[in-house]
Amino acid sequence: MGIELLRSFVAIVAATYVILFGFLKKINEWYYVTMSEKKQNPLPPGHMGWPFIGNMWSFFKASNSQDPDSFIDNLVKRYGRTSIYRTHLFGSPSVIVCSQELCRKALTDDEHFSYGYPSSAIQLGGKKSLYGISNSEHRRLRRLIADPINGHQALALHIEDVVITSLEELATMNRPIKFFNEMKTIALNVIAKVSLGSTQDSILWSMVKYYTELSPGILSMPINIPGFAFHRALKTKDELDERRRKTVAERKKGMMDLLMEVENEIGEKLEDEHIIDLLLLILFSGRETAAHTAMWVRLELDLEHTNINEEQQAIEKTILPESLTLTEIKEIEYLPKVIDESLRRNYFAFAIYRKVVADVNINS
């Protein structure tokens, strides 16, 4: 009798769970589909998941697995190869596009799309970072930052010194190395040198600490409650902002000096908040992207490839590698193509985010 009662209880709990959460998913689906019926263009196939949570559980499960593409693969299996699907991620209704043609439309149409990163990234990146500003402000800020940095020979020499020194140290090691980990260390050294003017161990370890604690919150549910990744990342950001304010006040040598002197067309300079948020973005994105690019270039580069061998031999005959200037490096023809192709084939970011600012049909 006791076993039968237990079975009945379990069956009732399971049925209640299925009915309750099935009902909630239906409500969420009904709400967004009904809202979309007021628009001229219908929603693509897909489902909105649970209220507020959406499909984040399955998204995180896929992204943390050995097969992150399984999130998209499941949509393809369920709704066909339409290359466009509706879903609900990071607390917002979303549409995923995953074909070359549709991605090009979304990334080049400034009339209907603006930069639109998840709320967690905007809050942690800062109001003045490249995450949370308009298209026009994004272009203006990138131009202000890139122009003085790209033409700054001293900054290029700082980077070169750090990289050469790091590679020479690796060459002296009589043991196998983990290439990707070493590339991350070199990238961190470069970031510390050009942005903070130092590669001291204390500064590097503090940057590693901040990065380790901040990174999980960048793409997470924006839940500011103890125990959640976003809450921990917000606390870390406050500590990091305070450290960077002191660094800005001390006017360290390097990229920070350049950013503090940048002026726009009417003579306005970047605010300290702009500089702090930009340095945080460099810390977050620069380390991983540089390391991944270096790793994939090394893995995919055929050392016997005629074109690049001929180019490198020609450079060695005319210019000593240690005397190459930034201008001469930019004139190298084939090597940048290898890097660009590696970026195209093995782009680090899982997704590029855009915000729809007007109803649009991109799959007609």
**If you write DSSP's letter for every residue of 143-209 in order, what string do you get?**
HHHHHHHHT-HHHHHHHHHHHHHHHHHHHT-SS---HHHHHHHHHHHHHIIIIIS---HHHHHHHHH
* Count of CB atoms situated within 10 Å of the CB of 217: 24
- Sign for the CA dihedral angle at 254, 257, 260, 266 comes to negative
Q: Which CATH architecture has domain 135-345?
A: Orthogonal Bundle (1.10)
* Dist CA 262 CA 140 (whole Å): 12
pLDDT at 73: 92
What is the mean predicted confidence (pLDDT) over 268-283?
A: 69
Mean pLDDT, rounded, for 325-353: 76
Question: Cα(325)–Cα(144) distance, rounded to whole angstroms?
Answer: 23
Q: Which two structure tokens, joined as six digits, stand for 67? A: 């097969």
Structure tokens that stand for 280 in this block? 């945080």
pLDDT tens digits for range 174-194: 888 888 888 888 888 887 777
Instruction: Collapse the DSSP code of 308 into the 3-class scheme (helix H, G, I; strand E, B; otherwise coil) and give the result.
Output: helix
Identify any residues that bridge with 97 across adjacent strands, giving them in sequence order. Answer: 84
* Between 166 and 25, the higher pLDDT residue: 166
Strands (E) across 18-66 are located at: none
* CATH 1.10.630.10 residue ranges for the chain: 135-345
In this prediction, residue 305 carries a pLDDT of 59
In one-letter notation, the amino acid at residue 214 is L
Q: 96 vs 282, which has greater pLDDT?
A: 96
210 closest CA partner among 193, 181, 231, 235: 235
Each residue of 38-85: pLDDT tens digit?
Answer: 667 788 899 888 878 889 888 888 888 888 889 999 999 999 999 999
* Predicted pLDDT at 79: 93
Q: What are residue 59's phi and psi, to 5 degrees?
A: -65, -50
Is residue 20 over pLDDT 60?
A: no
| Least confident range of 121-135, 200-214, 244-258, 260-274 | 244-258
Lowest mean pLDDT among 223-227, 255-259, 283-287: 255-259
Burial of residue 333, with CB atoms counted within 10 A of its CB: 0-12 exposed, 13-18 middle, 19 or more buried? exposed
Place of tokens 């990744």: 229
Number of helices (H), then strands (E), belonging to the chain: the values are: 15, 4
Give the Cα separation of 108 and 121 in Å (integer). 22
What backbone torsions phi and psi does residue 356 show, to the nearest 5 degrees? -80, 125
pLDDT attached to residue 90: 86
Residue 114: which of 280, 364, 360, 346 has the closest Cα?
A: 360
Question: Residue 228 — very low, low, confident or very high, per pLDDT cuts 50/70/90?
Answer: confident
Segment among 142-156, 184-198, 207-221 with least mean pLDDT: 142-156
Task: Give which of 289, 271, 286, 268 is closest to 126, Cα–Cα.
Answer: 271
Residues 6+ apart with CB under 8 A from 357: 112, 113, 114
Instruction: Please answer whether residues 102 and 363 qualify as being in contact, where contact means their C-beta atoms are separated by less than 8 angstroms.
Output: yes
pLDDT at residue 262 is higher than 70: no
Distances (CA, A) of 268 to 63, 247, 264: 42, 21, 5
